[in-house]
Amino acid sequence: MAHRTRIKICGLTREADVEDAVAAGADAIGLVLYAKSPRHVDAARAGVLARRLPPFVSPVLLFVNATQAEIDAGLQMVPNALLQFHGDETPEQCVAAGRPYLRAARMAPGVDLLDLASRHPGAVGLLLDAHVEGYGGGGKAFDWSLIPANVPCPVVLSGGLNPASVIDGVLRVRPWAVDVSSGVESAKGVKDAALMRRFCEAVREADSRQT
């Protein structure tokens, strides 16, 4: 039976976008608690948006070099969240929150994913994004050939995906999940319902082609 690639839509800021993402078929939504991001929401706003989610659609809180107090504030508002660490956090800092977490890797030649995975045995997966100025959300793809075949934990493919490119990404990388943000937007932080639907349909089409 073909693997069902999970879908995370990240950087949501509006209630309507949360509802449209769920209707499109998203398995998870990402809420960015990083003040320098154009998709930033604070902890209270993240809580409001997360409460729009039905059962079995997961909220993910994205942090970049956050303090423990900032992480605790996010978890107080969204206690069932999966955490995503996108900065320079140490394994100890990632584990300290006491919640399941994804470790983001900014992919570039020389990045050793196997070493990163070995240093984060507590991570539920590695999210692979392009290496851009700042942290994530750059809408840039990276060279998928940099991904080794034997990564010992689930891989979440990110970085520049959109409805046109995600089929190739799923078929070539065969990730556990895909993550999209700018590729389904009409403006930064404003999602497009039709693009989200087309993205999810493209992932399902890619799954149907896998043997």
Domain boundaries, the chain: 6-209
96 SS3 class? helix
Q: So what CATH class is 6-209?
A: alpha beta
Contact 13, 44 (CB under 8 A): no
Task: Give the integer Cα–Cα distance in Å for 95 and 89.
Answer: 10
pLDDT value of position 143: 87
Give the pair of three-digit tokens for residue 154.
């689930």
pTM: 0.94
pLDDT value of position 48: 98
20 SS3 class? helix
pLDDT value of position 13: 97
In 3D space, the residue among 73, 23, 51 whose CA is nearest the CA of residue 9 turns out to be: 23
Contact 154, 176 (CB under 8 A): yes
Give the pair of three-digit tokens for residue 155.
């891989």
Q: Report the largest interatomic distance among the alpha carbons of the chain, rounded to a whole angstrom.
A: 46
In eight-state DSSP terms, residue 156 is: E
Give the pair of three-digit tokens for residue 25.
């078929």
Q: Is 64 left (phi over 0), alpha (psi -120 to 50) or beta?
A: beta
| Tokens 């960015």, located at residue | 32
pLDDT value of position 206: 97
Q: What is the pLDDT along the chain (211 residues), one digit of tens a residue?
A: 678 999 999 999 999 999 999 999 999 999 999 999 999 999 999 999 999 999 999 999 999 999 999 999 999 999 999 999 999 999 999 999 899 999 999 888 888 899 999 999 999 999 999 865 554 555 678 889 889 888 999 999 999 899 999 999 999 999 999 999 999 999 999 999 999 999 999 999 999 998 6
pLDDT value of position 29: 98
Task: Give the integer Cα–Cα distance in Å for 161 and 133.
Answer: 18
Q: Give catalytic residues, as residue numbers.
A: 10, 129
Give the pair of three-digit tokens for residue 43.
């902890």
